[in-house]
Amino acid sequence: GAVVSQHPSRVICKSGTSVKIECRSLDFQATTMFWYRQFPKQSLMLMATSNEGSKATYEQGVEKDKFLINHASLTLSTLTVTSAHPEDSSFYICSATRGATITGELFFGEGSRLTVL
Amino acid sequence: GESVGLHLPTLSVQEGDNSIINCAYSNSASDYFIWYKQESGKGPQFIIDIRSNMDKRQGQRVTVLLNKTVKHLSLQIAATQPGDSAVYFCAENAGGTSYGKLTFGQGTILTVHP
């Protein structure tokens, strides 16, 4: 079964509203989670690194005030798209690491499709 | 910034043929590479990985080859099946402080015809 779960899998919202996406590690503690964005027919682009108990680290060009990341527990990271606009419509995917090494211990969620009308 | 790229955006093969998907990477500090399969509307699915101290690794029907000299990675799928149709991404990790962070290639769409 899935070891990393995202919710919701699909969400449609009106322009100007905020949307929260959850990423949960189901049977392990993840001190670090990662958020990616994927536009149609494109690759995954890393947005930010979510660290439990501290501020997220954002990649260059990603607005931290627009994409709020909270990693309040060892099993949950949330991404909030604030004041969403149609150009924010995308597939958002999280990943989480389990263990001290990356080999075979990096798991992806099933993604959350955001559509902003 | 440095990135991982692919030579061929699409690949069409007949069922039973072998498929080869290529990837070029540019970050010489990368020491871990992963191939993912992504089906429509789903997250990436791990296929196989390889560390930079190896040049070949085999799994079930899949083989990954790494050529560090020319910074090239390939995924070979033996006896390709219609269920293999998907988008394939290579990804790299530089380790150290970037542990867990992946840089993805552009992706190759593999279509397997019955």
Chain segment A76-88, per-residue pLDDT in tens: 999 999 999 999 9
Q: Any chain A CB within 8 A of the CB of B107?
A: yes
The CA distance from A95 to B44, in Å, is 10
E strand or H helix that includes residue A6: strand A4-7
Contacts of B60 (CB under 8 A, 6+ apart): none
Other beta carbons within 10 Å of A7: 14
In chain A, which residues have their Cβ closer than 8 Å to the Cβ of B1?
Answer: 60
The CA distance from A38 to A79, in Å, is 14
The pLDDT of residue B90:
96
Contact B56, B65 (CB under 8 A): yes
Chain segment A41-61, per-residue pLDDT in tens: 899 999 999 988 889 999 999
CB-defined contacts A:B, below 8 A: 58
Task: Tell if the CB–CB gap between B107 and A110 is shorter than 8 Å.
Answer: no
Closest-CA distance of chain B to residue A111, Å: 5
| pLDDT tens for each residue of chain A, 117 residues long | 569 999 999 999 999 999 999 999 998 888 889 999 999 889 999 999 998 888 999 999 999 999 999 998 889 999 999 999 999 999 999 999 876 555 557 899 999 999 999
When CB atoms are compared, the residue of A43, A44, A97 closest to B100 is A97
When CB atoms are compared, the residue of B36, B43, B51 closest to A110 is B43
